[in-house]
A = this chain, B = another copy of it.
Amino acid sequence: MLFHVRMDVAIPRDLDPDERTRLVSTEKARALDLQRQGTWVHLWRVVGQYSNISVFDVDSSDALHDILWNLPLFPFMTVQITPLTEHPSALSANP
């Protein structure tokens, strides 16, 4: 089941630099891991923004919540979620 997620990140200026480095690198490791598992199926940077647009393929909306809630940078994100489904004009629907 696909969900479109936009994450806008705003790390506070006064966050301890070591903590910031740690959070950003664990976030990256987690993102790579979820991509390798086939869960985080698309991850793009929005041009000119500290933001990403992503697509997740999960078994349930509960699973999506677990993933997002536990991202290292979650406390500093604004998250927008849009459920997706197959488009009748998509190639996959017109084999």
How many copies altogether? Answer: 10
- B-contacting residues, A28-47, CB 8 Å: 28, 31-32, 35-36, 42-47
- The complex places the Cα of A47 from the Cα of B27 at a distance, in Å, of 19
- Given A1-B62, A2-B61, also A47-B91 (CB < 8 A): no
Interface of A toward B, CB cutoff 8 Å: 1-5, 12-13, 27-28, 31-32, 35-36, 42-49, 52-53, 55, 60-62, 64-65, 68-69, 75, 79, 81-91, 94
Tell me whether chain A's interface is mostly helix, strand or loop, or mixed: mixed
Chain B residue nearest in CB terms to A51: B82
- The complex places the Cα of A52 from the Cα of B85 at a distance, in Å, of 9
